[in-house]
């Protein structure tokens, strides 16, 4: 069973400075990505101010607009609530989501953060398997991120069966890679950029190992997603357990930079 998954911070579907709606561009981006499962951050599902501006969906919510015609199943975790609307994380899936729950992992009042957990069933009708999906958006402060990563690790140990396939994706804001180390050690997960690197050959092991490390570093560099117009930070990641990573890439170019300040991270997985 092969799956294409993607994680994408859509910046509430608006431009950064002027706040111009660009949710139509985001929808076209999702169509181009063509993933089976998409992990979204900063989905502004309701904004009464934007609803009056040209270019904003005239009916339904932002999540409905993004999912219509492509994704029959979705989960939404409302994190930040304000008088004119709310935003949070979301998961869009072509496979049935059997249950979902949202958990507040905010570390302080200025940053409302959440952990969205969903369980989907993949495979044919007689051989369906449950896959656990977790979408996160961690804070901007290092200590907050580490506490949120600890909560995530504890949550997985408590709520996800050891042998269950698992995908954790989102915007980790982890440019120092402290969260990356914690998750690898606590959860025994693979990050797709590293896992996609072929292992070194047994022949002439030392030179092969050096070549593998060079290839791995190059591939990790390719996984940079922020800022989208000239990516140089690896903020968005996908961690997996129970999957083989076939490939990963980050689409780049002016067309993608117009959609969000983040570029999407896309991975090809095999269950």
Residue 84 lies in a domain: yes
- Min mean pLDDT across 127-131, 190-194, 235-239 is at 127-131
Residue 213 lies in a domain: no
- Give the per-residue pLDDT at 125: 66
Give the model's confidence band at 221: pLDDT under 50 very low, under 70 low, under 90 confident, else very high.
low
Please state the domain count of the chain: 1
What are the pLDDT digits (tens) for 164-176? Answer: 999 999 999 999 8
What does the alpha-carbon distance between residue 48 and residue 53 come to, in Å, rounded to a whole number?
9
242-262: string of b/e by CB count within 10 Å (b at 16+)? bbebeebbbbbeeebbebbbb
What average pLDDT does the structure give for the chain? 87
- Give the per-residue pLDDT at 69: 85
Residue 48 lies in a domain: yes
Q: CB count, 10 Å around CB of 54?
A: 6
Segments forming the whole domain that contains residue 112: 2-196+224-270
Q: Could you give the maximum distance between any two Cα atoms of the chain, in Å?
A: 65
3-class DSSP assignment, residue 153: helix
DSSP structural state of residue 108 = B
Task: Output the CA angle 192-195-196, nearest 5 degrees.
Answer: 85
- 146: domain CATH number is 3.60.10.10
What are the pLDDT digits (tens) for 107-166? Answer: 888 889 999 999 999 987 677 899 999 999 999 999 999 999 999 999 999 999 999 999
Q: What is the mean pLDDT of residues 239-263?
A: 94
DSSP track, 7-68:
EEE-GGGB-SSS--B-HHHHHHHHHHH--SEEEEEEEEEEETTGGGSTTS-SSS-HHHHHHT
Residue 192 lies in a domain: yes
| 8 vs 109: which has the higher pLDDT | 8
What does the alpha-carbon distance between residue 177 and residue 137 come to, in Å, rounded to a whole number?
15
Residue 14: which of 59, 50, 40 has the closest Cα? 50
Residue 21 lies in a domain: yes
Residue 16 lies in a domain: yes
Q: What is the mean pLDDT of residues 79-83?
A: 79
Residue 250 lies in a domain: yes
55-82: string of b/e by CB count within 10 Å (b at 16+)? ebbeeebbbebbbeeebebbbbbbbbee
Q: CB count, 10 Å around CB of 129?
A: 13
What are the pLDDT digits (tens) for 27-56? Answer: 999 999 999 999 999 998 776 666 666 666
The position carrying tokens 């300040």 is: 261
Beta bridge partners of 241: 166
Residue 79 lies in a domain: yes
* 203 contacts: CB under 8 Å, gap ≥ 6: none
End-to-end CA distance of the chain: 5
Give the neighbor-by-neighbor strand order of the sheet with 73-82: 73-82, 85-93, 37-47, 2-9, 265-270, 244-249
pTM given for the model: 0.88
């Amino acid at each position: 069973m092969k799956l294409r998954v993607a994680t994408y911070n859509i910046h509430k579907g608006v431009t950064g400075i002027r706040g111009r709606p660009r949710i139509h561009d985001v929808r076209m981006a999702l169509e181009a990505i063509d993933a089976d499962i998409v992990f979204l951050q900063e989905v502004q599902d309701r904004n009464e101010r934007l609803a009056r501006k040209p270019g904003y969906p005239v009916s339904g919510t932002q999540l409905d607009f993004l999912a219509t015609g492509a994704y029959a199943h979705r989960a939404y975790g409302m994190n930040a609530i304000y008088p004119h609307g709310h935003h949070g994380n979301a998961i869009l899936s072509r496979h049935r989501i059997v249950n979902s729950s949202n958990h507040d992992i905010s570390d302080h009042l200025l940053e409302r953060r959440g952990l969205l957990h969903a369980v989907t069933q993949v495979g044919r009708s007689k051989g369906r398997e449950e896959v656990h999906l977790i979408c996160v958006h961690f804070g901007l402060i290092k200590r907050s991120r580490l506490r949120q990563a600890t909560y995530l690790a504890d949550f997985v140990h408590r709520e996800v069966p050891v042998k269950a396939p698992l995908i954790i994706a989102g915007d980790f804001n982890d440019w120092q890679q402290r969260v990356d180390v914690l998750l690898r050690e606590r959860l025994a997960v693979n990050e797709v950029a590293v896992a996609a690197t072929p292992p070194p050959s047994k022949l002439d092991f030392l030179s092969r190992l050096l070549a593998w490390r060079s290839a791995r570093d190059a591939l990790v560099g390719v996984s940079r997603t922020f800022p989208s117009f000239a990516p140089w930070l690896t903020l968005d990641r996908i961690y997996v357990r129970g999957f083989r990573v076939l490939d990963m890439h980050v689409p780049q170019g002016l067309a993608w930079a117009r959609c969000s300040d983040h570029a999407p991270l896309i991975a090809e997985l095999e269950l």
